[in-house]
Amino acid sequence: MKIVATSPGDIVIEFKIPESNSTYIIPVKSVSGNKNIDVSKEYGIGSHQAFAEVVGKIGYEGDFTIGSWYVDSENNPATWDELVKLLTYQNDEGLPREFIINIHARSGEGMTRVGTGTYGAINGYSASTYEDLGETGRITGSANNEAVASMENTDTVIMSFQRCILKGDAVDVPEVGGTVSRRYPFSCLVRTPK
């Protein structure tokens, strides 16, 4: 086991909407996820101190922020707020639609350096196999200049939030010199790893 330091530039966020069987890779400004566990103390006669801690409800929630807008057509401002349309039922009072968030490591040759962490499989070889090959058997992957993860390669998934729904959304329009941002808080039923 070792610690691998990762830049946000090496993280890719994938949104899946099972209902429409659609996937979107969106460069978010930030994403956060929290696990909340209700723990209550049990008391009894004969002492002022608790004698047990009881674990109760477990819940997951978080939020993500995108810089300005996720657009369908850059020349048409009416399509600039597409993400909220994808994640809600626009024809039913904007009620939330269920979705999945997968957090991936970015693919590409620069992500396969031994010593700084090898993410996922490279041309079918696992990370441990790659490290065992040494310099003489170095595997060269195809160059990938786009900041995307290979969706077929589930080895690149770091964390997944499943059965998510939006709890709302917010827009922040700062003074001139900043950029507009959209924040989306969400709740989800399952996180992997738990």
**What is the C-alpha separation between 112 and 130, in angstroms, rounded?**
9
**Residue 64: which of 14, 10, 6 has the closest Cα?**
14
Q: What is the pLDDT of residues 152-163, one digit of tens each?
A: 445 678 889 999
Question: What's the DSSP call for residue 109?
Answer: G
Arithmetic mean of pLDDT, 84-102: 91
Indicate the pTM of the whole model. 0.71
Kindly state the helix (H) or strand (E) to which residue 86 belongs, with its residue range. Answer: helix 82-86
Burial class (CB in 10 A: 0-12, 13-18, 19+), 12: buried
**Residue 82: which of 44, 74, 160, 103 has the closest Cα?**
74
**What is the C-alpha separation between 80 and 64, in angstroms, rounded?**
17
User: Is the domain 8-107+144-192 a CATH 2.40.30.200 member?
Assistant: yes
Read off the pLDDT band of 131 (50, 70, 90).
Answer: very low
- Domains of the chain, by residue range, sit at 8-107+144-192
Query: Which residues, other chains included, contact 29 with Cβ-Cβ below 8 Å and sequence gap of 6+?
Result: 65, 66, 67, 181
> Looking at per-residue confidence, does 11 or 45 come out higher?
45
Residue type for position 124: G
3-state secondary structure of 156: helix
